Amino acid sequence: MDYNVKSMKAEEFINHEEILETIKYANNHKDDLKLVDEILAKAKLRKGLTHKEASVLLACSDSEKVKEIYDLAEQIKKDFYGNRIVLFAPLYLSNYCINGCLYCPYHLKNKHIPRKKLTQEEVKKEVIALQDMGHKRLAIEAGEDPENNPIEYILDCIKTIYSIKHKNGAIRRVNVNIAATTVENYKKLKDAGIGTYILFQETYHKENYERLHPTGPKHNYAYHTEAMDRAMEGGIDDVGIGVLFGLDNYQYEFAGLLMHAEHLEAVHGVGPHTISVPRVKRADDIDPNEFDNSLSDEMFCKIAACIRIAVPYTGMIISTRETKEVREKIIRLGVSQISGASRTSVGGYAEKERPHDTEQFDVSDNRTLDEVVNWLMRAGYIPSFCTACYREGRTGDRFMALCKSGQIQNCCHPNALMTLKEFLLDYASLDTKEIGNKLIEKEINNIPKENVRRIVKERLVKIEEGDRDFRF
């Protein structure tokens, strides 16, 4: 099959021969510093790079050029996303699953993991526990099981989540990370008011993909890989892609990931809203050492920097799979969203002690949300709980237009400050409050438009007086 970015067939827009050719090209040209300089010059125009160009940067090992890549990634992140970091939490609804994925403890043959599915009453308890931490944005997760987790169950959970108003808490946005499904079901998710539909490819290498998914509906590579096209057809214009680094050669996954982004842009006029970069981690009966493609922290950070340069307008997500130290390094290279105080077990938030028996993977960053917010602010970032774009209809190409024009600073920046103020008043420790109030005072001056600055100051006073949920 020939490579065709506009094809609707998985093996043509993620073309195996094209990826092998890309890796070969990158390895042959990694020391060609003239070419590397040309690619960096193009990247500085903030219009992105092709999968081939970005792969050359990833392969380049010249220390000076690598530093240039990191510096440029950091600058692009600042240009488009400022110093904001959006916070969210995953919510695991059910670990019933009929797939046989070799890297996930929820696989059907794992008989010693207790199977659990939240009732709507339990969903309510979880949501209240998350609201009591200060969360406003969730990503719901569930195994693939048409009997236990049908689309109706997912829709009921979304309805329950949005309905709960507890003290000053409210989940204002639900992202959905469930198995590849039909156009009809994506329409239902869209109608339920979801934010982003997220689906990780796990690996773009078809042969390896089929080996890692020996049984269950997920075995179908094409159906899984073409899911985002069906989601777009169903009206969901914010989609999130990602691979599970460590399952295959990282150069292969990197090229495949960018080809997927190029495909969505070419066919639908808008690329992915987010790209996630998880790595294989230890879990119930999963040993990451069984996968021989694990990558160093250094290469992991370099991948993030090259993604940021290649797709400057796309949000990047890093989870609590990673340690505080790794998250510290990688955030400055382009990450715009992180999870905080995550629990990866079904029903994990309502319990005081972190349960481990139904975890999907080990969490490496076990800090509370208050501690994560405090850490971000001390590092010079604005923790943001903003969900405005989704609720104002600024999704898909409308969000991208806002981002590309730089208008995001008059919108997302003030929204971040106002949602941070809510967190400080309702949930923060005294130390976090003190740091946060100083940060808000300082950051107000970085809002470009005088009129917007004035409105933000007025609204901050109203938030102090008890009003909530202002947004631009």
Please report the pLDDT score of residue 170 as a whole number. Answer: 95
Residue 119's pLDDT band, with cuts at 50, 70 and 90, is very high
Q: Specify burial of residue 290 (Cβ count, 10 A radius: 0-12, 13-18, 19+).
A: exposed
Residue 220's pLDDT band, with cuts at 50, 70 and 90, is very high
pLDDT over 50 (residue 469):
yes
Name the least confident of 195-199, 296-300, 409-413.
409-413
Tens digits of per-residue pLDDT, 3-41?
A: 999 999 999 999 999 999 999 999 999 999 999 999 999
pLDDT over 60 (residue 68):
yes
Q: Which residues pair with 140 in a beta bridge?
A: 91, 176
- pTM tops 0.85, yes or no: yes
397 or 102: whose pLDDT is higher?
A: 102
Name the least confident of 77-86, 127-136, 154-163, 181-190.
77-86
Read off the tokens for 365. 């960053």
Residue 398's pLDDT band, with cuts at 50, 70 and 90, is confident
Please report the pLDDT score of residue 355 as a whole number. Answer: 58
Please report the pLDDT score of residue 292 as a whole number. Answer: 53
Assign domain 85-366 one CATH number from 3.30.70.3270, 3.20.20.70, 3.40.50.300, 1.10.30.50. 3.20.20.70
Alpha carbon of 200 to those of 42, 338, 416, 463: distances in Å? Answer: 29, 16, 27, 38
Q: Average of pLDDT values for 341-359?
A: 77
Q: Which of 143, 137, 82 is nearest to 107 (CA)?
A: 143
Please report the pLDDT score of residue 252 as a whole number. Answer: 97
Residue 321's pLDDT band, with cuts at 50, 70 and 90, is confident
Q: Average of pLDDT values for 191-203?
A: 96
Cβ atoms < 10 Å from Cβ of 439: 21
Q: Average of pLDDT values for 324-333?
A: 92
Please report the pLDDT score of residue 105 as a whole number. Answer: 80
Tens digits of per-residue pLDDT, 249-270?
A: 999 999 999 999 999 999 999 9
Please report the pLDDT score of residue 148 as a whole number. Answer: 96
* Cα distance between residue 143 and residue 101, in whole Å: 11
Q: Average of pLDDT values for 377-401?
A: 84
Tens digits of per-residue pLDDT, 271-294?
A: 999 999 988 755 455 455 565 557
Percent of the chain, pLDDT > 70? 93
Please report the pLDDT score of residue 286 as a whole number. Answer: 46
Q: Average of pLDDT values for 350-377?
A: 78
pLDDT over 70 (residue 445):
yes
Would you give the end-to-end CA distance of the chain in angstroms?
Answer: 47
Q: Average of pLDDT values for 186-201?
A: 97
DSSP string covering 380-440: T-EEE---HHHHTT--HHHHHHHHHHTGGGGTHHHHHHHHHHHHHHHT--HHHHHHHHHHH
Please report the pLDDT score of residue 395 as a whole number. Answer: 75
Q: Average of pLDDT values for 100-129?
A: 89
pLDDT over 50 (residue 462):
yes
Give the residue extent of every domain in the chain.
Answer: 85-366, 390-464
Mean pLDDT, the chain, whole residue set: 92
Please report the pLDDT score of residue 112 as a whole number. Answer: 79
* Cα distance between residue 224 and residue 314, in whole Å: 21
Sign of CA dihedral 254, 260, 264, 266: positive
The number of CA neighbours under 13 Å toward the Cβ of 143 is 27
pLDDT over 90 (residue 357):
no
